[in-house]
């Protein structure tokens, strides 16, 4: 009997609380957020000449040598040439993913050595100058969408960018200096550079 008597409050309160917290709350917050902070509520999208070029918060897959490169990304998705097949699709912001490779994974070590070889070939000046390879450039981020790199990873690419774009190394380095986001109050968070914003600023240099 006790159980039967519990059914009415269980069902009623389930419905009331679900409507309140599952509909009114998220919909109300959506309305309020879009009224007060439409840019952020819509995903902090960046536009250029009326077209969306990306989100400030979401990394992009930069492969051309004339742009700064970001972290590795382990996301996958439909093959752009043949959508029926699925395969690696870095910075697929429709399906975030990490590599989930553990510390003793052979696949991890193979992947990193391949990346190291690529970075050495692409940035011979930095290697010749005795740079050790910044770890964030050879590792995948947790989300696969990391928008940032460390200042070291940006400086590591200075000479390549300067060479490809016929800029002075000093001007590229000064641009990075300007774009570094410092930790809050000097200690909360890590210094980092947003790669998309850095590359947009880089295009503006010429």
Partner 1 sequence: MSITGWATIAFFLLCVVAITRPIGGFLKRVLEGETHFLGRIFGPLERSFYRLAGIRPDEGQSWTQYAFSVLVFKIACFLAVYGILRLQTHLPLNPMGQGAVAPDLAYNTAISFLTNTNWQSYSGETTMRHLSQMLAFTAQNFVSAAAGIAIAAAVIRGFARRSAGTIGNFWADLVRTTLYILLPACVLLTLFFVFEGVPQTLSGSATALTIEGAHQSIALGPVASQEAIKMLGTNGGGFFNTNSAHPFENPSALTNFVQMLCIFALGAGLTNMFGRMVGKERQGWAIFSAMVALFLVGVSVLYWSEAHSNPALAALGIDPSFGNMEGKETRFGIAASALFATVTTDASCGAVNAMHESFLALGGMVPLVNMMLGEVIFGGVGSGLYGFLLFAIIAVFMAGLMVGRTPEYLGKKIESREIKMTMLAVLCLPLVMLGFTALAIVIKPGLAALSATGPHGFTEALYAYTSAAANNGSAFAGLTANPFWNITLGVGMMIGRFFVIIPVLAIAGSMAAKKISVPTPGTFPTDTGLFIGLVMGVILIVGGLTFLPALALGPIVEHLAMLRGSLF
Q: Measured between alpha carbons, how far is 9 from 16 in angstroms, rounded to an integer? A: 10
Q: Measured between alpha carbons, how far is 40 from 169 in angstroms, rounded to an integer? A: 35
**Binders in 108-147 for partner 1, by CB under 8 A:** 108-109, 112-113, 116, 132-136, 138-147
Q: How far is the CB of 86 from partner 1 (least distance, A)?
A: 11
Answer for the pair 28, 20: CB distance below 8 angstroms, yes or no: no
Task: Using alpha carbons only, give the angle 62, 67, 69 rounded to the nearest 5 degrees.
Answer: 50
Between 30 and 79, whose beta carbon lies closer to partner 1? 30
Using CB under 8 A as the binding rule, whether residue 36 contacts partner 1 is answered as: yes
Between 113 and 170, whose beta carbon lies closer to partner 1? 113
Using CB under 8 A as the binding rule, whether residue 14 contacts partner 1 is answered as: yes
Q: Rule CB under 8 A: choose which of 50, 63, 121, 204 binds partner 1.
A: 63
Between 39 and 170, whose beta carbon lies closer to partner 1? 39
Which DSSP letter does residue 131 get?
P
Using CB under 8 A as the binding rule, whether residue 3 contacts partner 1 is answered as: yes
Using CB under 8 A as the binding rule, whether residue 97 contacts partner 1 is answered as: yes
Between 93 and 179, whose beta carbon lies closer to partner 1? 93
Q: How far is the CB of 46 from partner 1 (least distance, A)?
A: 8
Task: List the x/- string, 170-189, binding to partner 1 by CB under 8 A.
Answer: -------------xx-xxxx
Number of residues engaging partner 1 in binding (CB under 8 A): 103
């Amino acid at each position: 009997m006790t159980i039967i008597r519990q059914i009415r409050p269980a069902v009623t309160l389930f419905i009331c609380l679900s409507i309140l917290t599952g509909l009114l709350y998220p919909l109300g917050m959506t309305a309020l957020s879009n009224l007060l902070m439409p840019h952020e509520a819509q995903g902090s999208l960046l536009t250029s000449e009326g077209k969306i070029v990306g989100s400030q918060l979401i990394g992009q897959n930069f492969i051309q040598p004339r742009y700064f490169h970001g972290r590795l990304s382990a996301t996958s998705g439909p093959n752009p040439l043949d959508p029926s097949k699925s395969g690696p699709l870095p910075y697929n912001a429709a399906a975030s993913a990490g590599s989930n490779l553990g510390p003793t994974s052979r696949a991890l070590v193979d992947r990193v050595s391949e990346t190291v070889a690529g970075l050495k070939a692409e940035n011979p000046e930095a290697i010749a100058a005795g740079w050790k390879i910044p770890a964030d450039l050879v590792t995948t981020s947790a989300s696969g969408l990391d928008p940032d790199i460390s200042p070291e990873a940006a400086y590591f690419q200075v000479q390549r960018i300067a060479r490809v774009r016929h800029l002075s190394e000093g001007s590229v380095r000064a641009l990075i200096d300007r774009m570094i986001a410092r930790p809050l109050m000097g200690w909360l968070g890590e210094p980092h550079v947003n790669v998309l914003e850095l590359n947009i600023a880089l295009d503006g240099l010429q």
